[in-house]
């Protein structure tokens, strides 16, 4: 992408160079010998050493050169915006992969807590069995619950390794290279979206680099139309040369006679194409068709951006609502599990009640961890769609 930007910058310089005259230097040397027949044969030797400076300059072309310069500038601007948009997308990909890794880490923490609870319950059941206060099916059920928790923990660790590899790939390092990430999953998060949907959408429509690139491409097609129209008018140009020529000549083997002259010429050229078989008309039609295509693409981009902002805004509000609900769900599940465990210890509740509360607590932990990271992902997504800086959560 950077090399493409350099190519477009060079194209602007090439187009701008047409505003200046072209100066060329020519030097040569020649020697000839021949016989000339008129009424008799004449033997002639001739040596010439000319040196010439030539100048060519387009004086007036009804804006054709200016249109080409504007077109090159618009193409350069579009490439620069595309370059900026590439950076923006890379930043978003890093942020998204980073939060996915945090989600996996949070899921592992929740699964580890679930495994610890299952092991605690299993130890309590086995102790009751030793004292004759529990049955063997209860012990087998508790062992199965522990094995299930250990299995889920292993699965989540595999997902964490995959998320680690995805982030490493985006960062451009080998997945086997170890690195640490800062856990911001417990950082404070905004409770509501401070700006209105209309404000965010308006900012996106004026700052999105991909949309600005489409606007620049539309400007390039306008310049192409001006260039195509300029071809209908004449072009006035100037050309001239000035030089110095040394010559030496001899006839019939007589002594050489030197000659030195300073030839020059200057002329104005008016070129006007009268008939071209419809080439200019078709070139103009093609340029106008390109403009309509660019205008349609710009309209589609605007509609797509508005839809992206709407979706990201809605996803963020949903994620914030889910986070609040998950906090309440986790608190209720922890209280339920604690009450079920205490009641089971005194013989009021059954082991089935404990395992049910344990499963609900595991689900609540998973939901709470996912909901918190989902808010971070939704915030990053909305910032990306609105062309705002993606700010990491801070402790």
Residue extents of the structural domains in the chain: 64-234+279-385
Mean residue pLDDT of the chain comes to 85
Q: What is the 3-state secondary structure (H, E, C) of the chain?
A: CHHHHHHHHHHHHHHHHHHCCEEEEEECCEEEEEEEECCCEEEEEEEEEEEEEEEEEEEECCCHHHHHHHHHHHHHHHHHHHHHHHHHHHHHHHHHHHHHHHHHHHHHHHHHHHHHHHHHHHHHHHHHHHCCCCCHHHHHHHHHHHHHHHHHHHHHHHHHHHHHHHHHHHHCCCCCCCCCCCCCCCCCCCCCCCCCHHHHHHHHHHHCHHHHHHHHHHHHHHHHHHHHHHCCCCEEEEEEEEEEEEEEEEECCCCCEEEEECCEEEEEEEECCCCCCCHHHHHHHHHHHHHHHHHHHHHHHHHHHHHHHHHHHHHHHHHHHHHHHHHHHHHHHHHHHHHHHHHHHCCCCCHHHHHHHHHHHHHHHHHHHHHHHHHHHHHHHHHHHCCCCCCCCCC
| Residue 63: band (very low, low, confident or very high) from pLDDT cuts 50, 70, 90 | confident
> CATH classification of 64-234+279-385, choosing from 3.30.450.90, 1.10.150.120, 1.50.10.10, 1.20.1600.10?
1.20.1600.10
Evaluate if residue 378 carries a pLDDT over 80.
yes
Query: What's residue 395's pLDDT?
Result: 45
Q: Dump pLDDT digits (tens) for 88-103.
A: 999 999 988 988 898 8
Query: What's residue 39's pLDDT?
Result: 62
Evaluate if residue 346 carries a pLDDT over 80.
no
Which whole number is the average pLDDT over 263-282?
88
Which whole number is the average pLDDT over 358-377?
87
Query: What's residue 154's pLDDT?
Result: 92
Q: Dump pLDDT digits (tens) for 210-228.
A: 999 999 999 999 999 999 9
Which whole number is the average pLDDT over 129-136?
76
Query: What's residue 6's pLDDT?
Result: 76
Percent of the chain with pLDDT over 70: 93
Please tell me the least confidently modeled range out of 85-94, 128-137, 365-374: 128-137
């Amino acid at each position: 992408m950077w090399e493409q930007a350099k190519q477009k910058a060079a194209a602007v310089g090439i187009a701008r160079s047409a505003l200046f005259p072209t100066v060329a230097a020519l030097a040569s040397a020649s020697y000839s010998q021949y016989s000339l027949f008129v009424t008799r044969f004449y033997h002639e030797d001739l040596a010439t050493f000319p040196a010439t400076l030539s100048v060519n300059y387009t004086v007036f072309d009804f804006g054709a050169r200016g249109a080409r310069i504007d077109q090159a500038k618009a193409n350069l601007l579009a490439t620069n915006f595309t370059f900026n948009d590439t950076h923006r997308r890379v930043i978003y990909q890093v942020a998204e992969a980073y939060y996915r890794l945090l989600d996996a880490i949070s899921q592992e923490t929740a699964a580890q807590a679930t495994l610890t609870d299952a092991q605690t319950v299993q130890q309590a059941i086995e102790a009751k069995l030793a004292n004759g206060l529990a049955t063997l099916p209860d012990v087998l059920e508790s062992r199965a619950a522990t094995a299930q928790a250990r299995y889920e923990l292993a699965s989540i660790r595999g997902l964490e390794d995959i998320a680690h590899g995805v982030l490493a790939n985006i960062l451009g390092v080998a997945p086997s290279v170890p690195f640490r990430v800062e856990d911001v999953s417990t950082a404070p998060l905004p409770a509501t979206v401070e700006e209105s949907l209309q404000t965010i959408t308006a900012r996106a429509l004026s700052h999105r680099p991909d949309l600005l690139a489409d606007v620049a491409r539309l400007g390039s097609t306008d310049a192409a139309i001006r260039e195509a129209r300029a071809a209908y008018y004449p072009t006035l140009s100037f050309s001239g040369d000035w030089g110095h020529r040394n010559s030496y000549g001899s006839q019939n083997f007589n002594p050489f006679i030197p000659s030195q002259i300073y030839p020059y010429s200057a002329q104005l050229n008016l070129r006007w194409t009268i008939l071209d078989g419809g080439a200019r008309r078709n070139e103009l039609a093609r340029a106008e068709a390109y403009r309509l295509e660019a205008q349609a693409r710009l309209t589609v981009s605007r509609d797509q951006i508005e839809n992206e902002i709407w979706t990201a805004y809605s996803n963020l509000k949903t994620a914030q609502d889910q986070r609040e609900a998950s906090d309440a769900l986790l608190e209720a599940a922890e209280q339920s599990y604690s009450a079920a465990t205490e009641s089971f210890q005194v013989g009021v509740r059954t082991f089935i009640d404990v395992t049910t509360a344990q499963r609900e607590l595991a689900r609540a932990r998973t939901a709470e961890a996912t909901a918190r990271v989902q808010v971070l992902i939704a915030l990053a997504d909305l910032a990306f769609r609105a062309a705002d800086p993606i700010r990491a959560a801070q402790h």
